[in-house]
């Protein structure tokens, strides 16, 4: 810090570059811009950052569906933020720094639409999963034959998501989903959800388990 008696910065008030000028008791005080002291993050802070990075990175490939799946979960935040918050709070397992996704606790959608009834998955052909369900709809939840079925597959070994194409209806009662040939022999995590025809309502996603692909 110094006092200016003249020169190009005389009477400087405010900041220019890394220099700060101010008037103190009638004197022109000149100093360098203060720098925030560097501080090492605590393990708790590092833990939070690592969990957040894990969840956001993992969900990024299905962000378009999450915008529908969590659209009405919390009016105070975006659907993406609501999805990240839920899975951050509920679907992480392990101890710092060895965190992993807890697949059975993951949700890709959260809502009151009726899920598929008597849902089953089988493997009868290479790189394919065969899904079946019944026409029954829980009377306590809204649902209709023209609801759209969404199937989400995640391959942990390949670190890749596959989502079923649009147009699979609840009334179809079955769907044979082709997977990439490279998935043969791998275990995949399987989830399903249901959207109303107008996409204004969604079911809470259902985890079917880990399934070995032929």
The burial of 190, by beta-carbon neighbours within 10 Å (0-12 exposed, 13-18 middle, 19 or more buried), is given as buried
pTM comes to 0.81
pLDDT > 70 in the chain, percent: 82
Q: pLDDT digit string (tens) for 49-72?
A: 999 999 999 999 999 999 999 999
pLDDT reported for residue 6: 47
- Domain check: are 116 and 98 in the same one? no
Domain end position, chosen among 66, 84, 107: 107
pLDDT of 204 > 80? The answer is yes
Residue 7 shares a structural domain with residue 94:
no
Per the prediction, the chain carries an average pLDDT of 89
Do 188 and 202 share a domain, yes or no?
yes
48 with 75, same domain: the answer is yes
Residues 73 and 132 in one domain: no
By residue range, what is the domain housing residue 53? Answer: 40-107
- CATH number of the domain that residue 186 is part of: 2.60.40.10
């Amino acid at each position: 810090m110094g006092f200016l008696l003249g020169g190009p910065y005389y009477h400087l008030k405010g900041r220019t570059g890394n220099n700060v000028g101010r008037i103190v008791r009638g004197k022109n005080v000149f100093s360098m811009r203060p720098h925030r002291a560097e501080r090492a993050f605590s393990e708790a802070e590092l833990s939070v950052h690592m969990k957040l990075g894990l969840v956001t990175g993992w969900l990024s490939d299905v962000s378009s569906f999450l915008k529908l799946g969590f659209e009405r979960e919390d009016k105070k935040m975006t659907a993406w933020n609501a999805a990240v918050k839920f899975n951050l709070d509920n679907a992480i397992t392990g101890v710092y720094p060895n965190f992993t996704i807890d697949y059975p606790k993951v949700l890709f959608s959260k809502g009151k639409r009726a899920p598929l009834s008597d849902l089953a998955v089988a493997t009868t052909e290479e790189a394919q999963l065969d899904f079946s369900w019944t026409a029954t709809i829980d009377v306590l939840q809204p649902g209709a034959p023209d609801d759209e079925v969404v199937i989400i597959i995640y391959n942990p070994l390949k670190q890749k998501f596959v989502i079923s194409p649009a147009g699979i209806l609840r009334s179809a009662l079955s769907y044979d989903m082709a997977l990439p040939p490279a998935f043969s022999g791998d275990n995949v995590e399987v989830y399903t959800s249901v959207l109303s025809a107008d996409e204004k309502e969604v079911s809470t996603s259902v985890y079917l388990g880990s399934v070995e692909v032929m």
